[in-house]
Amino acid sequence: MTLHADPKSPIYNYKVAAYNVSKSAVNAYTVQLAWELRDSTIKVNAVHPGHVKTDMGGAAAPMEIVDGAKSSVAMALIGGDGPNGSYTHMGKTLPW
Ligand SMILES: NC(=O)c1ccc[n+]([C@@H]2O[C@H](COP(=O)([O-])OP(=O)(O)OC[C@H]3O[C@@H](n4cnc5c(N)ncnc54)[C@H](OP(=O)(O)O)[C@@H]3O)[C@@H](O)[C@H]2O)c1
């Protein structure tokens, strides 16, 4: 949302409404569910894989598939003191 509203953002012109709105819904649900489960051992986080050479990402994407998996694997391995309700890519927090 933050980057799509910023004309200086590199993704500003990638307006694919159904895809982008569904991703915003997933992000919003991440925040809501993380709060609901805040007193449990379950962590709820959203991960951006990067622009990856998959069927969807296309051959021109800069990241290899093995690197595109890294953020998801890292977040799958967080411990009890890990983040809850975050949005990350390669260890960095992203704006919603
Ligand atoms: N690639 C990128 O640069 C990039 C960037 C940001 C976020 N993402 C996100 O990462 C996730 C994976 O994307 P990807 O790049 O790996 O895409 P992908 O290579 O196109 O793979 C999409 C996968 O989703 C499955 N799928 C599609 N529609 C389905 C349905 N109705 N029911 C069940 N499975 C379905 C496909 O199954 P079949 O093979 O059987 O059709 C395929 O395994 C997506 O949520 C995407 O939005 C990707």
What is the third-level CATH fold of 2-93?
Rossmann fold (3.40.50)
Nearest CA residue ID for atom 1, ligand 1: 57
Q: Which residue has the higher pLDDT, 96 or 57?
A: 57
Q: Kindly list the domain boundaries of the chain, sorted by start residue.
A: 2-93
| Mean predicted confidence (pLDDT) in 17-43 | 97
| Mean predicted confidence (pLDDT) in 19-42 | 97
Q: Which pair of structure tokens corresponds to residue 10?
A: 């590199």
Q: Which pair of structure tokens corresponds to residue 7?
A: 């004309």
The pair phi, psi for residue 47, each rounded to 5°, is -125, 135
What pLDDT sits at residue 96? Answer: 86
pTM beyond 0.75, yes or no = yes
DSSP letters for the chain: -TTTT-TTSTTTT---HHHHHHHHHHHHHHHHHHHHTTTSS----EE---SB-STTT-TT-SB-HHHHTHHHHHHHT--TTS-SS-EEETTEEPP-
Tens-digit pLDDT profile for residues 44-73: 999 999 999 999 999 999 999 999 999 999
**39 C-alpha to ligand 1 centroid (Å):** 32
Tens-digit pLDDT profile for residues 9-26: 999 999 999 999 999 999
Nearest CA residue ID for atom 20, ligand 1: 56
Pocket test for ligand 1, best of 27, 54, 64, 75 (most atoms within 8 A of CB): 54
CB-defined site of ligand 1, < 6 Å? 48-49, 51-52, 54-57, 61
Percent of the chain scoring above 70 in pLDDT: 100
